[in-house]
């Protein structure tokens, strides 16, 4: 049997009892030190190095909104030099208004947090760069956060200054009594006072701005617009105060699936190392064009934006409506994009419906082309084809971007069928990676020439990974043929501590500075890693079987009929039950195929209550779980069809779209009880 080529490096004699060997990237066999770009040691260096070397290159852009047509036009960009000038001015303005609010006459202190509460936009980027230009830390709040989460994060971080979009100001003013440390709010939108409110976002006008200012004054809150703070900085300039590598760059709050979010403190050297590691994969080339739509409040997009900035690339921000990301992509024509399974599944469904699932000659030709390209790719010949790309696939690529070169997906596993189809239909490199808030959004990535599916690749440059036994779950580093256990990471980009929570920090780290991720992984024969379970998401049924619900939910939502799923198991019951949200686009045609013309007179709510549809939905779940070869006890025995989507607003999802299982259990208690009663 031929020897399998190893894609990572197992450090000799590093295996200990209860642990696997330590694995490194092939580029860092002997040392974790980064020798490339030694002059870049902080996120400040990343940005200002590109300003120096590429001043006239486009940096950040957005689509111009026309209030007359109610449409967004072409992208308009600011260069690195233009952005740098604004950053310097805003940074000076921040220090000035901080001193004013706190009655400081001398030098202002540094290393205090600046909060940012907005969707992705150029001002988000400028604000963060301004903060680090004066050695301040960024604290990001998800655009979808409710009042209680805002209060918690602002009080926990003790942020005295907050930047937000204008539509957030009134919400903040209504709760400032509960946030005593907050002194100043800056609106990212201009107040338009010089031109009678022209350019103010709807529904604001000059009078409403006046009322907001009066309200803020009554609360002893200073309220500025973004351009006002920039102008203050122009009139009161101060030198840059660059951070050091060991200074804290950001306080990034975790999703909070099991309680209050934790504030992960990560140093400048951490995010600088992670940006270098991303660029060493080769996926982000100099001058890359990136579409930013995943929340900047999360480590994933933040890391990629730093990586694009390191490569002196361009960042185009989406227009604010996640349902129009494809439209934004067509307008921007990016070369790089980050994805999550939820979005990529939607792109797959759209492309598949127009090709391999199309009727007649068109569908037949597409299926033949897909089969040929898959065979070619699996034979080791890459994902391009001289004939079929010209005939079919370049048109499919154009549906997203004709210039697309590189897509990275993470946050959850992407179905192998979807991954393979997108690789050949979009004619670009698509790799899967793994990371978390505590690792600056990265730990492993696939190599660019790795066309396998279902794995997360190898340790990045600058990182070490090992597996640790989990006896309770029967996972051991000595398992044959593949070691299994809890994935542990050690790297410069691993966070330092949870703010004000030393006990939780201690629980997260093992001896030697190893971060215990809580994810269960397998080491494949070629030295790549695969996530196979989640240590904390397991529960036991009454017969003693362990169940990983997330795996089952991912299988269920691969059906075109279903958009979201929550699988629940009671330790006193033998079976699983499920709450499933239909995808109207696929569910309604599917329902019509089940009950025929009767479905035409029924809305979604009526369809979800129809006994024949419910029975067929359970059958569909049985089919997809059987096709995925799930065990019998992993297949739900009852289903409730829910018409209201899981969301952060109803408390079932975190801002990063992770399911809050305990909240979902409480929210659907009545339905769960009814499902179990129906099985008796």
Q: Is the pLDDT of residue 119 over 60?
A: yes
Q: Is the pLDDT of residue 146 over 80?
A: no
Mean pLDDT, the chain, whole residue set:
91
Q: Is the pLDDT of residue 504 over 80?
A: yes
Say how far apart CA 195 and CA 618 lie, in whole Å.
60
Structure tokens at 319: 């227009």
Domains of the chain with CATH codes: 43-270 (3.40.50.12780), 340-534 (3.40.50.12780), 541-678 (3.30.300.30)
Q: Is the pLDDT of residue 400 over 90?
A: yes
Q: Is the pLDDT of residue 196 over 80?
A: no
**Alpha-carbon 658 to chain mean position:** 10
Q: Is the pLDDT of residue 195 over 70?
A: no
Say how far apart CA 571 and CA 576 lie, in whole Å.
10
**Alpha-carbon 23 to chain mean position:** 26
Complete DSSP assignment for 100-138: HHHT--SPPP-S-EEEEESSS-HHHHHHHHHHHHTT-EE
Per-residue pLDDT tens digits for 605-617: 999 999 999 999 9
Model pLDDT, residue 620: 94
pLDDT class of 193 with cuts at 50, 70, 90:
low
Across 293-364, the runs of DSSP E, i.e. the strands, are 314-317, 336-339
Q: Is the pLDDT of residue 257 over 60?
A: no
What pTM was computed for the model?
0.85
Model pLDDT, residue 65: 85
Helix (H) or strand (E) holding 89: helix 80-102
Q: Is the pLDDT of residue 197 over 70?
A: no
Say how far apart CA 299 and CA 116 lie, in whole Å.
14
DSSP-derived secondary structure letter, 178: G
Write phi, then psi, for 48 (nearest 5 degrees).
Answer: -70, -25
Per-residue pLDDT tens digits for 312-333: 999 999 998 888 899 999 999 9
Q: Buried b / exposed e across 84-120, counting CB within 10 Å, b at 16+?
A: bebbbbbbbbbbbbbbebeeeeeebeeebbbbbbbbb
Complete DSSP assignment for 446-463: --TT---SS--BEEPTTE
Q: Is the pLDDT of residue 307 over 80?
A: yes
Q: Is the pLDDT of residue 534 over 80?
A: no
Mean pLDDT of 255-274: 86
Specify the length of the chain in residues.
680
Per-residue pLDDT tens digits for 590-641: 999 999 888 888 888 999 999 999 999 999 999 999 988 888 888 999 999 9
Model pLDDT, residue 647: 86
Complete DSSP assignment for 598-659: GGGG--HHHHHH-HHHHHHHHHHHHHHHHHTT--GGGS-SEEEE--SPP-TTTTSB-TT--B
Distances (CA, A) of 230 to 54, 90, 188, 234: 23, 4, 11, 6
Say how far apart CA 141 and CA 253 lie, in whole Å.
8
Mean pLDDT of 169-194: 91
Model pLDDT, residue 654: 80
Mean pLDDT of 14-22: 96
Model pLDDT, residue 198: 60
Cα atoms found within 13 Å of the Cα of residue 384, Cβ hemisphere only: 8
Per-residue pLDDT tens digits for 89-108: 999 999 999 999 999 988 88
What three-state secondary structure class fits 282?
coil
Model pLDDT, residue 349: 86
Per-residue pLDDT tens digits for 427-478: 999 999 999 999 999 999 999 999 998 899 999 999 999 999 998 778 999 9
Q: Is the pLDDT of residue 281 over 70?
A: yes
Say how far apart CA 232 and CA 96 lie, in whole Å.
8
- Dihedral sign, Cα of residue 25, residue 28, residue 31, residue 37: negative
Model pLDDT, residue 206: 73
Say how far apart CA 135 and CA 141 lie, in whole Å.
20
Model pLDDT, residue 137: 96
Task: Tell me which of 120 and 660 has the higher pLDDT.
Answer: 120
Model pLDDT, residue 158: 96
Q: Is the pLDDT of residue 579 over 70?
A: yes
Biggest distance spanned by C-alpha atoms of the chain: 79
What percentage of the chain has pLDDT greater than the value 70? 97
């Amino acid at each position: 049997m031929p020897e399998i080529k190893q894609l990572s490096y197992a450090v000799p004699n590093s295996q200990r009892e209860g642990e696997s060997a330590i694995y490194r990237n092939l580029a860092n066999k002997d040392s974790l030190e980064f020798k490339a770009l030694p002059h870049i040691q902080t996120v400040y260096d990343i940005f200002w190095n590109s300003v120096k070397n590429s001043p006239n290159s486009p940096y950040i852009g957005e689509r111009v909104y026309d209030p007359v047509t109610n449409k967004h036009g072409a992208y308009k960009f600011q260069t690195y030099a233009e952005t740098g000038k604004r950053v310097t001015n805003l940074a000076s303005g921040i220090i000035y208004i901080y001193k004013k609010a706190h009655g400081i006459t001398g030098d202002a202190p540094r290393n205090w947090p600046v909060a940012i509460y907005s969707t992705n936009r150029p001002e988000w980027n400028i604000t963060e760069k301004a903060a680090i230009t004066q050695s301040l830390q960024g604290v990001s709040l998800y655009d979808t956060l409710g009042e209680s989460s805002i209060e918690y994060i602002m009080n926990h971080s003790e942020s005295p200054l907050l930047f937000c979009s204008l539509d957030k100001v009134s919400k903040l003013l209504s709760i400032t009594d509960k946030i005593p440390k907050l002194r100043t709010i800056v609106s990212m939108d201009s107040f338009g006072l010089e031109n009678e409110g022209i350019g103010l976002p709807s529904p604001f006008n000059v009078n409403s701005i006046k009322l907001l200012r009066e309200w803020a004054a009554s609360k002893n809150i200073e309220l500025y617009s973004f351009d006002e703070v920039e102008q203050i900085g122009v009139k009161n300039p101060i030198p840059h105060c660059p951070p050091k590598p060991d200074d804290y760059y950001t306080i990034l709050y975790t999703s909070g699936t099991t309680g209050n979010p934790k504030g992960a403190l990560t140093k400048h050297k951490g995010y600088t190392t992670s940006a270098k590691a991303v660029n060493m994969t080769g996926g982000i080339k100099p001058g890359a064009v990136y579409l930013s739509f995943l929340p900047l409040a999360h480590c994933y997009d933040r890391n990629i934006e730093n990586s694009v900035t390191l490569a002196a690339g361009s960042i185009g921000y989406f227009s604010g409506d996640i349902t129009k990301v494809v439209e934004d992509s067509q307008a921007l024509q990016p070369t790089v994009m980050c994805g999550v399974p939820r979005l990529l599944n939607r792109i797959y469904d759209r492309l598949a419906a127009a090709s391999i699932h199309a009727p007649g000659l068109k569908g037949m030709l597409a299926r033949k082309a897909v089969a040929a390209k898959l065979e070619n790719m699996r034979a080791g010949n890459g994902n391009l084809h001289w004939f079929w790309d010209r005939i079919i696939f370049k048109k499919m690529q154009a549906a997203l971007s004709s210039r697309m070169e590189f897509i990275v997906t993470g946050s959850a596993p992407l179905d192998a069928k979807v991954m393979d189809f997108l690789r050949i239909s979009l004619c670009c490199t698509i790799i899967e990676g793994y990371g978390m808030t505590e690792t600056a959004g990265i730990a492993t990535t696939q190599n660019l020439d790795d066309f396998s599916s279902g794995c997360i690749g190898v340790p990045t440059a600058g990182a070490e990974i090992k597996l640790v036994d989990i006896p309770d779950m029967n996972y051991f580093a000595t398992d044959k043929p593949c070691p299994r256990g809890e994935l542990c990471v050690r790297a410069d980009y691993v966070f330092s501590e949870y703010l004000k929570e030393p006990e939780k920090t201690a629980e997260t780290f093992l001896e030697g500075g190893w971060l215990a991720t809580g994810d269960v992984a397998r080491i494949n024969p070629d030295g790549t890693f695969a996530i196979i379970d989640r240590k904390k998401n397991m529960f036991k049924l009454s017969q003693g079987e362990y169940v990983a619900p997330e795996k089952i939910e991912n299988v269920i939502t691969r059906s075109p009929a279903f958009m979201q799923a929550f699988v629940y198991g009671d330790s006193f019951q033998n079976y699983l039950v499920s709450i499933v949200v239909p995808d109207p686009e696929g569910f309604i045609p599917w329902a019509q195929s089940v009950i025929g013309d009767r479905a035409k007179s029924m809305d979604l709510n009526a369809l979800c209550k129809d006994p024949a549809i419910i029975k067929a939905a359970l059958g569909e779940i049985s089919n997809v779980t059987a096709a995925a070869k799930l065990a019998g006890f992993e297949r739900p025995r009852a289903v409730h069809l829910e018409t209201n989507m899981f969301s952060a607003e109803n408390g079932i999802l975190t801002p990063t779209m992770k399911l809050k299982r305990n909240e979902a259990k409480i929210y659907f208690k009545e339905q769960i009880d009814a499902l179990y009663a129906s099985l008796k």
